[in-house]
Amino acid sequence: MTEERLQQTELQSAARQHDHLVNRDMILAKAKELAGILGNSEEVQLFRKAEEKIRDHQRIQQLIATMKKKQKEIVAFESLKNQKMIAQIEAELQELQEELDGIPIVTEFQQSQVEINELLQMVIMAIRDTIAEKVNVEEGKSTSASNCSD
């Protein structure tokens, strides 16, 4: 291959890489746009409100802090291999968790998390299905790949 032909091939390769980057940038821009739309969805708004209520709820914050402390105590007693204290603290943790779960705003917050996850799964499935229409994802082949062998 002549040097001129080699340079031409390298330029074409660089151009293809540039096109790939432009496409990737476009995809990322659309992803950010979609994230903005999702961020303004009813599900996310409900989640934020519930999160704010939890942050401002003194008893919930006390319970969370106490639970974190108890979890650290368990780690310490595990290193000392003190099963009796571990069992006692785990029972205390269970009681704290039950109290936390009994607070209505916590249930509301957990439900809002479920709804956001469902929304995200729906978006992921829609993207997957749309891509599958263009590309045979399961076989890893483009629908027009059979034309390449001509």
Is the full-model pTM beyond 0.85? no
DSSP states along 66-127: HHHHHHHHHHHHHHTT-HHHHHHHHHHHHHHHHHHHTSHHHHHHHHHHHHHHHHHHHHHHHH
Give the mean pLDDT of 18-37: 86
Give the mean pLDDT of 26-40: 94
Percent with pLDDT over 90 in the chain: 69
Give the mean pLDDT of 13-21: 67
Give the mean pLDDT of 46-51: 95
Give the confidence band of 6 by pLDDT, cuts at 50, 70, 90.
confident
Q: What is the pLDDT of residue 21?
A: 67
Mean pLDDT of the chain: 87
Q: What is the pLDDT of residue 19?
A: 63
